[in-house]
Chains A and B, each alone.
Chain A
Amino acid sequence: MVKNSNQMMSARISSFLKDLLGDSSGIMAALGFVILIIFILMAIFAPLIAPYSPVQPSGNPLTAPNWHHLMGTDNMGYDVFSRFIFGSRMALIIAFIATLIAAGVGIPLGLIVGYFGGPLDRIITMIMDSVYTFPGLILAIAIAAVLGPGIINISLSIAVVYIPTYYRVIRSQVASAKNELYVESAYSIGAKTSTIIFKYILPNVLPSIIVVLSMNIADAIMTEAGLSFLGLGITPPTPDWGYDLANGQQFLISNDWWMAFFPGVAIILIVLGFSMFAEGLNEYFNPNIGEKR
């Protein structure tokens, strides 16, 4: 896969991490996993952890971090820490829904097209390749602008960007797996086409699906943050890191750094967590294809 587009940002992050940490992929995966667990728990128990409501002013605007407001307050008087906690919900929900849609469309399509091939293959591949050539964020912006804000709409516009990634990986793997002798022997014992696809081909391409899945969640989070940053995401004042980052950066000039700093750190951490975890999975499932991705 090409590394020069922002679609595979997480791939670039993880290859950088690999250089940094050497071949200790076990530690990397574990660290990534811990970060993920922390963010997931944070999202689930957000109302218990957050000291204030994220959508109601809880103090004076633009208060610097102190014991009452661990991360300060923003220009509306909202508690930045509470928004930090609740922001993880939006990021994870949208990332998971988008990935589910992308995988749910891309994987079956790749399986069917890869197995049957022929003219169908040429048409679908051409469509997928043309979607793939768009820079991810720009395509997502275009779709989001048409669909308008809302969780499902944002998820959809992110999903469209990532469908080709699944499609391409699965199609190429299936196209090579279907010529394997074990598939021919399945055919020779009288297996149905559906049995061949689901019992003989799918298990053999599943490892790469899992890796692409965890990689894509990281990319989806970044795209979601990007959309919100540009004002195409969730309607404010729903807590969202991308929106908070955009809102906070106007105040950087007056040294009110905390408003932009903490959402930014959150985005970096969660993407880093997913990337590390994905890289660890990749090492585990495909020890010999590290470079091919």
Chain B
Amino acid sequence: MVNKMNTETFLKVEHLRKEFDLKVPWIEAIFKHKKKTVKAVDDVSFEIKRGETLGIVGESGSGKTTLGRTVIRLIEPTSGKIIMDNTDLTELRGEVLRRARRDFSIIFQDPMASLNPYMRIGKIVSHPLKIHNIGTKQERKEKILSLFEKFNLTPPGEFYNRFPKYLSGGQRQRVVIARALITNPKFIVADEPTAMLDVSVRSQILKLMIQVKKEFKLTYLFITHDLASAKYICDRIGVMYLGKIIEIAKKEDIFKEPLHPYTKILMSAIPIPDPNVKREKLMPKGEIPSATNIPKGCRFHTRCPFAKDICKEQEPDLRNVNGRLVACHIV
């Protein structure tokens, strides 16, 4: 996906943090004054250029879904700035934020659960328009019917009056995408949009997302744990580990030459369909640590095969290595 893109920064996230308070038994809350928190997103900064697709990859529990939701204020950030098109989203409140939501939307992972079972498809898709007072009833309906046609939900008139339970997973996900697009937003967070779909439908949805991206001039934040999907759709990829982005680079670079040890491990986990290819097997030690108790120093040192003394003491910052950003002492 190397298309001519604008070099203008569209979204800038600075030092974004999201901590969740843990529930503690009340006795503990009284006697130990320390609050327990989960640092789901821990000081994350990145930029997305207009028209670009930034992928966020990482294993379960790395905070990628929380990051996606926090960026569009579905979850309140603990601190940090989210600057989209020169507006700081973290400063919007109440009605202003509600109005601003027509400019960005989200595609959830589970298409079965993200549609109201008691609403007809047509109403589900037209609801964002109604909320933001766009068009008359007739115009809205026409717009939706033409969108259904484009999304291969045919015959559109029939789909318009159906309830979600009569649709297949792929059809529902197309409805979800249609709803996300109907207000002509500029930015879409896709939170593992293909994870719950089977392989044949997966590529359809990815193709559709690429197609509408060009048509609607969208910018994507694409969250996934599936490296193949990320390779297919993203321009740049950020790797997340325990709430932090540890490496961010162009797709070609990160797949050809991963720099961070964790990225190397991720890449070596991709199966190669050739039994004769020998390659070094890199395995991380143990399980991902709990986000309530993030290791001191480099958060990956407990599992890193190359860890040195400095890694246990000092937390590495994202730094520029040959035009790429990596957070590692060794590289």
- Contact surface of A with B, Cβ cutoff 8 Å: 180-182, 184-192, 195, 199-200, 203-204, 206
Q: B82-99 toward A: CB 8 Å interface, digit per residue (1/0)?
A: 000000000000000011
Complex contact A181–B114 (CB within 8 A): yes
Q: How far is the CB of B76 from chain A (nearest CB, A)?
A: 12
Q: Apart from A184-B114, A203-B119, what 10 extra A-B contacts exist at CB < 8 Å?
A: A180-B113, A182-B115, A184-B108, A185-B115, A185-B176, A187-B74, A188-B105, A189-B101, A190-B100, A190-B128
Residues of chain A with a CB closer than 8 A to B115's CB: 182, 185
User: Would you call B116 an interface residue if the criterion is a C-beta within 8 Å of the partner chain's C-beta atoms?
Assistant: yes
- Choose from A189, A203, A204 the contact partner of B127 (Cβ within 8 Å): A189
Complex contact A191–B127 (CB within 8 A): yes
Complex contact A190–B114 (CB within 8 A): no
A252 to B119, CA, bound (A): 58
Complex contact A190–B74 (CB within 8 A): no
- Choose from B99, B117, B128 the contact partner of A182 (Cβ within 8 Å): B117
Interface of A is mostly: helix
User: Would you call B132 an interface residue if the criterion is a C-beta within 8 Å of the partner chain's C-beta atoms?
Assistant: yes
Residues of chain B with a CB closer than 8 A to A195's CB: 131
A192 to B130, CA, bound (A): 12
What are 27 A-B residue pairs whose CB atoms fall within 8 Å in the complex? A181-B113, A181-B114, A182-B113, A182-B114, A182-B116, A184-B114, A185-B106, A185-B108, A185-B115, A185-B179, A186-B116, A188-B72, A188-B74, A188-B105, A189-B105, A189-B131, A189-B179, A189-B183, A190-B101, A190-B128, A190-B131, A192-B131, A195-B131, A199-B119, A199-B127, A203-B118, A206-B118
Given contacts A188-B72, A189-B131, contact A181 B110 (CB under 8 A): yes
Q: B40-76 toward A: CB 8 Å interface, digit per residue (1/0)?
A: 0000000000000000000000000000000010100
Residues of chain B with a CB closer than 8 A to A182's CB: 113-117
By beta carbon, the residue of chain A nearest B101 is A190
By beta carbon, the residue of chain B nearest A207 is B118
User: Would you call B18 an interface residue if the criterion is a C-beta within 8 Å of the partner chain's C-beta atoms?
Assistant: no
Complex contact B117–A204 (CB within 8 A): yes
- Choose from B98, B110, B179 the contact partner of A192 (Cβ within 8 Å): B98
Chain B 106-155 interface residues, beta-carbon cutoff 8 Å to A = 106, 108, 110, 113-119, 127-128, 131-132
Q: How far is the CB of A177 from chain B (nearest CB, A)?
A: 10
Q: How far is the CB of A204 from chain B (nearest CB, A)?
A: 6
Residues of chain A with a CB closer than 8 A to B114's CB: 181-182, 184-185
By beta carbon, the residue of chain B nearest A206 is B118
Q: How far is the CB of A184 from chain B (nearest CB, A)?
A: 6
User: Would you call B102 an interface residue if the criterion is a C-beta within 8 Å of the partner chain's C-beta atoms?
Assistant: yes
Q: How far is the CB of A182 from chain B (nearest CB, A)?
A: 4
Complex contact A200–B116 (CB within 8 A): yes
A187 to B127, CA, bound (A): 11
Q: How far is the CB of A176 from chain B (nearest CB, A)?
A: 12
Q: How far is the CB of B304 from chain A (nearest CB, A)?
A: 36
Q: How far is the CB of B70 from chain A (nearest CB, A)?
A: 13
Residues of chain B with a CB closer than 8 A to A186's CB: 116, 127
Complex contact B99–A190 (CB within 8 A): yes
Residues of chain B with a CB closer than 8 A to A190's CB: 98-102, 128, 131-132
Residues of chain A with a CB closer than 8 A to B132's CB: 190
Q: How far is the CB of B132 from chain A (nearest CB, A)?
A: 6
- Choose from B110, B118, B131 the contact partner of A191 (Cβ within 8 Å): B131
